[in-house]
Amino acid sequence: MIPGHAIFAPSSAARWTACPPSATLSQGLPERTSEAAQEGTRVHGVVQRALQTGELPAPLAPWIPPGKNMSDHDVARYMQDYVRQLGGGKLLIEERVVLAKGCWGQLDIGHVTQDIITVGDYKNGSWDVEAKNNKQALTYAATFLDANPAAQWFRVIIFQPNSWAAGTRPDEQDGFKQHVHSRAEVEAHRQLVLSAMAYEGPPLPGPHCRWCPAFSRCPVMSQDANFMMAAISRNPDMLLPHELLRMLRIIRAVSDMKAHLENILTERLKAGAQVPGTELKIGTKWTTWNDERQAAEKLYQMHGHKGVKPVTPAAAKKLSPDAAAYVAIASHKPEGEQKVSY
């Protein structure tokens, strides 16, 4: 078994294929965590147990309305059903796969037949992840090239039931997205990976900087800091479009660090640090149930469905064909506003 973490991890391939130095600059930095990330890790464990041992969590009681995320029971059941329909072939669950020295990762699902390789990944978050040209999945797919010379097709499956886009596309059912890549496309991606690993030039800034843990130690960012200080003193109406874009990307990357830095400062203050201009305050919390399951059951008994919050239209579509038909006439999607993306 390969110890530690891969320098060029498939999970961050979208970043380091765009900026190869970000992979080495990130080494040794503490990994940022969040409640959402911890929840994703927990559900991954549920999926793994369901696929390896058949363990299926209990379904929600009928009086418990569906939450923001798909229940553990449904996630595990959908994944089990998908794996069953793959049919004969070699099945890999949570298998460590290697593309090259320094580039390896843990595969959620792999399925190998003579003609087609399937690579499956579960995503728990809401930020929509595409199956087509998914750099993480393509990197996993490339690990099968040499051992399977006859395979001409590589199918990428993303199961993301909690995605913002889940249920809004007719070609996706219950959060499943898929795309089939040709062998030539996967081979081209492998070459992209090997070229990135051999790159010796300077960092390459872009949208990917937003997710880079090495943002604070990147030499290009030090240049951006000087640019930012000079640009702030100018009239925004006089800034050129490319200068506005550069400023916005810097601000966004710094903003993403804000919660992490606030948590660090909070812990320092709790430990006794005295920092002028700061104080610890008790945050506002909304009233919550002592036992949410018991409360929902009791209110359901007292007031029927009036006592239970209605599910969202997107969640209602998944309940039944009748519910989906009702959603079609009882809900609407407001027209989106045009807004710059960068």
Convert the pLDDT of each residue in 315-339 to its tens digit. Answer: 677 777 887 788 788 788 777 766 5
Instruction: Work out the average pLDDT over 199-205.
Output: 90
Higher pLDDT, 265 or 324: 265
In 158-317, which ranges are continuous DSSP H helix? 183-198, 219-232, 241-270, 292-303, 313-317
The pLDDT value given to residue 262: 84
Asked whether the predicted pLDDT for residue 169 surpasses 70, the reply is no
Asked whether the predicted pLDDT for residue 222 surpasses 90, the reply is no
At residue 167 the predicted structure's pLDDT band, cuts being 50, 70 and 90, is low
Q: Which residues contact 110 (CB under 8 A, 6 or more apart)?
A: 90, 91, 92, 93, 95, 97, 117, 118, 119, 120, 140, 144
Backbone phi and psi for residue 61, each to the nearest 5 degrees, phi listed first: -65, 150
For 146-194, strand residue ranges (E) read 153-159, 176-182
Backbone phi and psi for residue 111, each to the nearest 5 degrees, phi listed first: -140, 125
Residue 1: which of 89, 110, 94, 90 has the closest Cα? Answer: 94
The pLDDT value given to residue 341: 55
- Per the prediction, the chain carries an average pLDDT of 85
The pLDDT value given to residue 118: 97
Q: Are 11 and 105 contacting, i.e. CB atoms less than 8 angstroms apart? A: yes
Determine which helix (DSSP H) or strand (DSSP E) holds 136, and give its type and residue range.
helix 135-142
pLDDT digits (tens, 9 = 90+) for 74-89: 999 999 999 999 988 9
Q: Are 256 and 34 contacting, i.e. CB atoms less than 8 angstroms apart? A: no
At residue 252 the predicted structure's pLDDT band, cuts being 50, 70 and 90, is confident
Asked whether the predicted pLDDT for residue 6 surpasses 80, the reply is yes
Q: Are 182 and 188 contacting, i.e. CB atoms less than 8 angstroms apart? A: no
Asked whether the predicted pLDDT for residue 1 surpasses 50, the reply is no
Determine which helix (DSSP H) or strand (DSSP E) holds 110, and give its type and residue range.
strand 103-112
Highest mean pLDDT range out of 119-133, 162-176, 201-215? 119-133
At residue 311 the predicted structure's pLDDT band, cuts being 50, 70 and 90, is low
